[in-house]
């Protein structure tokens, strides 16, 4: 059997099996490990060897006599041995260790024989494309590469907000060190990760939120660079757990200037407004995605607008609703004070807030129908971004923890799309915390605390609309940079609204004497058009007055027909017709 093992290994070392030589060289196998692995590979495909006993005891009987001390063979084949820890060999079964079965990894032995095998991870070849970085970030990346070259198995922690180019920087560092990239979002099978990283000569890039303890275990097992995208606290914890230096590379959030630079890099000489395009995305990945969706080397403004509005996340169909941006700030009829505050919101959003790197949180307060949603849509258009409205019925869940998960998805989508996030009836989510009486109170307060933290971290624009300002938790009010009050329109504003919404030829002065909100005036105008269409006539004042009476009655305001002057009879006729029906 010893001769068989030696012969098998010799046969696999022939030029017909370069994959086996790749295993031997990249995994740095000793002669003992080489022969044991070769025998296991041969037993997978050789009919005579397929019936071989592959227990640990049988392999010890074969290979122990080749070692000066039998315990060496047990250690090399054991769970702490190089073959098992590197993922080349799998141990199956229960009971005493010597009764368990050895097998060559099902992902590796086909590769050793030059056969196709399952692709367990996404592997990208070394990135050779120059990153479009600011001078400050480019210097920091170069310093990280220089440091990593002095370490046999470097560990680099990249810290930065989503959209700061962390993934691209990680792949660039791997490429500069001469490695491909093996990107993972979670650490579930350390041996599989280690095995494929060595086989493909790839640095491991951990993109998802992974506990520092799991990263430390992976880092100790790897023989290639580990590049982890983490938050600031995790980077310090990781170094302590590994007991080895960890290089911390902090990336600042990429602002409009940096994103415009990337647009220019890809578009070249163009007549498109790259500064406007930069305000519509939050990351380099979003730019690359939009260009791919546009499917053109020279995309037009219409191509990119369609690509940037592409619903590429199922979240839009459940938790979020894309609102139209078909109005401008000039379309918003409001008091001079309200218009001044809206102008300040635009300035804040464009030029930065009091908290560097943070987003802008605004609150629009006022009775229903006073233009809060319309103003939010106009604000999104003015800023050149999409507006995503929260679907409260879908976001709020009765199950513990689900509301927070839904909100996290909402914030992530809004940040990835650089969209304005609109919370209508915000008091339903941002209400005051209560005294804890039972478990429901405790978890409701946890949801509020989570929202406070998430608002603090969100880099985009958030608008909270409410008609119950007093119901909001005081802690939210402290985090709001702009409060815009929307009052019921005064006489002059009602006249302007009737001029915009009403048919030509109507007496807007007479109509404006009735106190209605903008939404109610719009509804009344639509009702007047319908009444006129039913009469097969142009819209006249009697149609408008009947529509006003209906709108007042709908909201519970009692108005005597006598107040409609010469149109009193039209109101009576309409009410008599209703009774007759």
- Residue 428 neighbours by CB distance under 10 Å: 15
Distance separating alpha carbons of residues 45 and 221, to the nearest angstrom: 30
Dump the DSSP string for 99-136.
GSEEEE-TTTHHHHTT------SEEEPPP-SPP---HH
Residue with more model confidence, 284 or 101: 101
42-46, 334-338, 444-448, 542-546: least confident range: 444-448
Would you state the pLDDT for residue 130?
A: 60
Tell me which of 298 and 84 has the higher pLDDT: 84
**Token pair in block for residue 291:** 């260009």
321-485: CATH architecture: 3-Layer(aba) Sandwich (3.40)
Angle (nearest 5°) at CA 440 between 436 and 444: 80
Q: Which residue, chain included where needed, has tokens 């001469």?
A: 178
CA 324 to chain centroid: 22
pLDDT band at 432 (very low <50, low <70, confident <90, very high): low
Share of the chain above pLDDT 90, in %: 16
Looking at 3.40.1380.20, 3.40.50.800, 3.80.30.20, 3.40.50.300, the CATH number of the domain 122-250 comes to 3.40.50.300
Cα–Cα distance for residue pair 491/497, rounded to 1 Å = 10
Lowest mean pLDDT among 123-132, 202-211, 557-566, 567-576: 123-132
Q: Domain 2-112 adopts which CATH fold? A: Arc Repressor Mutant, subunit A (1.10.10)
Angstrom CA distances, 145 to 140, 163, 226, 232, 276, stand at 9, 21, 12, 20, 34
CATH architecture group of domain 491-580 = Orthogonal Bundle (1.10)
What is the predicted pLDDT for the residue at 484? 92
Does the pLDDT value for residue 227 go beyond 90?
A: yes
Judge whether residue 57 has pLDDT over 70: yes
**3-class secondary-structure state, position 103:** strand
Token representation of residue 459:
């880099």
- Average pLDDT for residues 94-114, to the nearest whole number? 89
- Range among 55-69, 169-183, 244-258 rated most confident: 169-183
Residues of the chain with CATH 1.10.8: 491-580
Q: Per the confidence metrics, is the pTM higher than 0.75? A: no
Q: Where are the beta strands (DSSP E) in 379-433?
A: 387-390, 420-423
Residues of the chain with CATH 3.40.50.300: 122-250, 321-485
> Are the beta carbons of 294 and 424 closer than 8 angstroms?
no
């Amino acid at each position: 059997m010893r001769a068989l093992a030696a012969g098998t290994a010799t046969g696999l070392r022939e030029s017909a099996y370069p994959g086996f030589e790749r295993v031997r060289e990249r995994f740095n196998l000793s002669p003992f490990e080489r022969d044991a692995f070769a025998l296991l590979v041969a037993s997978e495909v050789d009919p005579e060897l397929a019936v071989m006993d592959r227990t640990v005891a049988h392999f010890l009987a074969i290979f122990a006599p080749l070692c000066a001390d039998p315990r060496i063979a047990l250690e090399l084949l054991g769970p702490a041995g190089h073959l098992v820890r590197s993922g080349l060999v799998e141990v199956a079964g229960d009971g005493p260790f010597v009764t368990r079965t050895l097998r060559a990894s099902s992902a590796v032995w086909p590769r050793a024989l030059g056969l196709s095998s399952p692709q367990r991870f996404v592997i990208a070849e070394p990135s050779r494309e120059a990153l479009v970085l600011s001078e400050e970030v480019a210097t920091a990346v170069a310093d990280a590469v220089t440091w990593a070259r002095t370490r046999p198995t470097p560990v680099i922690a990249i810290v930065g907000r989503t959209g700061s180019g962390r993934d691209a920087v990680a792949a660039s560092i791997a490429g500069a060190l001469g490695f491909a990239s093996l990107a993972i979002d979670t650490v579930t099978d350390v041996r599989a990760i280690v095995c494929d990283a060595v086989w493909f000569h790839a640095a491991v890039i951990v993109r998802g939120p992974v506990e520092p303890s799991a990263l430390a275990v992976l880092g100790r097992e790897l023989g290639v660079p580990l590049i982890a995208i983490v938050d600031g606290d995790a980077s310090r914890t990781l170094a302590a757990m590994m007991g080895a230096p960890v290089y911390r590379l902090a990336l600042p959030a990429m602002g409009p200037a940096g994103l415009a630079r990337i647009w220019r890099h890809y578009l070249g000489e163009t007549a498109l407004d790259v500064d406007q395009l930069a305000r519509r995305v939050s990351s380099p990945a979003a730019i690359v995605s939009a260009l791919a969706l546009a499917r053109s080397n020279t995309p037009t403004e219409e191509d990119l607008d369609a690509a940037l509005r592409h619903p590429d996340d199922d979240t839009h169909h459940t938790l979020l609703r894309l609102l139209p941006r078909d109005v401008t700030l000039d379309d918003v009829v409001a008091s001079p004070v309200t218009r001044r505050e809206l102008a300040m919101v635009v300035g804040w959003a464009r030029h930065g807030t009091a908290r560097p790197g943070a987003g802008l949180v605004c609150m629009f307060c006022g009775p229903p129908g006073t233009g809060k949603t319309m103003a939010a849509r106009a604000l999104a258009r003015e800023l050149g971004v999409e507006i995503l409205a929260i679907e409260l019925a879908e976001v709020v869940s009765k199950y513990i923890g689900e509301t927070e998960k839904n909100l996290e998805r909402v914030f992530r989508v809004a940040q990835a799309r650089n969209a304005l996030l609109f919370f209508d009836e915000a008091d339903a989510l941002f209400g005051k915390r209560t005294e804890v009486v039972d478990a429901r109170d405790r978890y409701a307060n946890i949801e509020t605390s989570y929202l406070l933290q998430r608002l603090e971290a969100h880099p985009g624009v958030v608008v909270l609309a409410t008609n119950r300002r007093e119901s909001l938790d005081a802690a939210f009010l402290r985090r709001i940079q702009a409060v815009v009050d929307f009052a019921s329109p005064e006489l002059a504003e009602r006249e302007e609204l009737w001029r915009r919404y009403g048919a030509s030829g109507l007496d807007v002065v007479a109509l404006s004497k009735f106190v209605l909100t903008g939404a109610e005036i719009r509804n009344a105008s639509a009702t007047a058009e319908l009444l006129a269409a039913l009469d097969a006539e142009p819209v006249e004042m009697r149609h408008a007055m009947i529509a006003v009476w209906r709108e007042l009655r709908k909201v519970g305001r009692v108005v005597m027909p006598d107040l409609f002057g010469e149109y009193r009879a039209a109101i009576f006729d309409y009410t008599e017709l209703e009774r007759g029906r």
